[in-house]
A and B are shown apart, each in its own frame.
Chain A
Amino acid sequence: MSVVAAGVSKWAVRDVSFELPPGSVTAVVGANGSGKSTLLNVLAGHLPPESGHGAIAGRVAYVPQHKPMYKSFRVADVLAFGKHMNKTWDGERADEWLKRFKVPRKLQAEDLSGGQRTHLTLALALGARPDVLLLDEPLSELDPLARRKVMSELLTEVADRGMTLVYSTHVVAEVGGVADRLLLLSAGRLLLDGETDDLLEEHVLYTGPHASKSPVKGPVVQAKHGVSHSSYLVRSGGAAAGEPWTARFVTLEELVVAHLERAA
């Protein structure tokens, strides 16, 4: 699919194609302005793609980054609104989520903290019983401990209900073990699309004597040369390099940064 941003003659997202297996968790990663929100908007059906399609089968719930809300509504009103808007509303599920995070039902939306607003919008989205839940930077207003707690609870929802989760984040370090799949966007293009574990196992950093050529076969993602040594990050599939090269796996963060630097 491709999308042109409104009022701009530049591609916001271009030639992006991927699948979302049911029950999977996908992290959409990229710098600000890389097209993450545009992509989620297309998946949510809020932006028509210029070409191709971004159709999702089943019920979709989408929580945008800025979490819009009627200020004069109390928490209970927001839930009542959710019930009114959704034929398939599951009030118990929404209530349970709010109880879990201790959000009082009497509070007014304008008095909610950033964290409480996050919990309320998630409760609203989950109450709609989505097959696919799309979250744009869902954890951005939470402290590190709350981020973990919310992600654990979301993953439990995924495990219990077979829900598919797609979320954007720029905290790559928190993606490991959480996302089955990683989509890396840069300037509206898809740099990486793969299983998180596979990406980690395919990329190896080789360090050895100064060399103008990679010691193994495979696409070189990054080459660095010092005075006496060179290092190559290669998508080698884990191939071994001969002496005196040493090899080590890289973290997801190193991997993403290397790909972004290569694309820049």
Chain B
Amino acid sequence: MVEFHVDRGSGLPAYLQLGQQVREALRLGWLRPGDRLPTVRDVVATSGVNANTVLKAYRELELAGLVEARQGSGTFVKSSLGSATPEDLDPLRAKLAAWVAEARSAGLEDEDVYALLREVLSGGER
């Protein structure tokens, strides 16, 4: 199950933020093919976003082939993203958590961590 959160200070339109959160949940295995996405009404009630925003997000995910709307029963995950299994992810997550704790105690803030991560991911190029 995903719980949506909209960062209203972001320049990214809310519907794209919702889409991004579904994609992340797919990559992390929180959502799997066959799972039902929360109903539009549930998202409206719990996250305080407009129903049209949720519909737009779901429609965009549908166009991307990630989910499908089934008449009268909701929106379901159609395909997964990423190839990692929970068995792969769990130990990596644990190591990363330990690393982040180390970075925090060295005084790094979130933005520092992101910057460092981006640098390492891009192979040291900036």
Whether A251 contacts B48 in the complex (CB less than 8 A), given A156-B41, A159-B41, A197-B14, comes out as: no
Q: Which of chain B's residues have a CB closer than 8 A to the CB of A240?
A: none
Q: Which of chain B's residues have a CB closer than 8 A to the CB of A254?
A: 11
- The residue of chain B having its C-beta at the shortest distance from the C-beta of A198 within the complex is B13
- Per-residue contact bits, chain A 195-216, to B (CB 8 Å; 1 contact, 0 not): 0110011000000000000000
A180 to B44, CA, bound (A): 13
Q: How many A-B residue pairs have CB under 8 A?
A: 76
Which of B10, B40, B41, B45 meets A176, CB within 8 Å?
Answer: B10
With an 8 A cutoff between CB atoms, is B78 at the interface?
A: no
Give the most central of A173, A177, A248: most B CB within 10 Å. A177
Q: Which of chain B's residues have a CB closer than 8 A to the CB of A248?
A: 11
- The residue of chain B having its C-beta at the shortest distance from the C-beta of A180 within the complex is B52
| Inter-subunit contact B56/A176 (CB<8 Å) | no
Contact count band on B:
20 to 34
| Inter-subunit contact A177/B6 (CB<8 Å) | yes
- Per-residue contact bits, chain A 145-173, to B (CB 8 Å; 1 contact, 0 not): 00011011101101110000000000001
How close is A202's CB to chain B, nearest CB, in angstroms? 11
How close is B117's CB to chain A, nearest CB, in angstroms? 19
With an 8 A cutoff between CB atoms, is A193 at the interface?
A: no
With an 8 A cutoff between CB atoms, is B12 at the interface?
A: yes
Which of A160, A177, A201, A253 meets B53, CB within 8 Å?
Answer: A177
With an 8 A cutoff between CB atoms, is B76 at the interface?
A: no
A165 to B95, CA, bound (A): 48
Whether A177 contacts B48 in the complex (CB less than 8 A), given A160-B41, A197-B56, comes out as: yes
- The residue of chain B having its C-beta at the shortest distance from the C-beta of A197 within the complex is B13
A242 to B58, CA, bound (A): 33
- The residue of chain A having its C-beta at the shortest distance from the C-beta of B46 within the complex is A152
Whether A159 contacts B44 in the complex (CB less than 8 A), given A176-B10, A197-B13, comes out as: yes
Whether A251 contacts B40 in the complex (CB less than 8 A), given A156-B45, A177-B48, comes out as: no
Q: Can you list 29 A-B pairs, Cβ within 8 angstroms, ordered by A?
A: A25-B50, A25-B52, A148-B48, A149-B48, A151-B48, A152-B45, A152-B46, A153-B45, A156-B45, A158-B50, A159-B40, A159-B51, A173-B8, A174-B8, A176-B8, A176-B13, A177-B8, A177-B17, A180-B52, A196-B13, A196-B14, A197-B14, A197-B15, A200-B13, A249-B11, A251-B10, A251-B11, A252-B8, A252-B11
Interface, chain A (partner B; CB < 8 A): 23-25, 148-149, 151-153, 155-156, 158-160, 173-180, 196-197, 200-201, 248-254
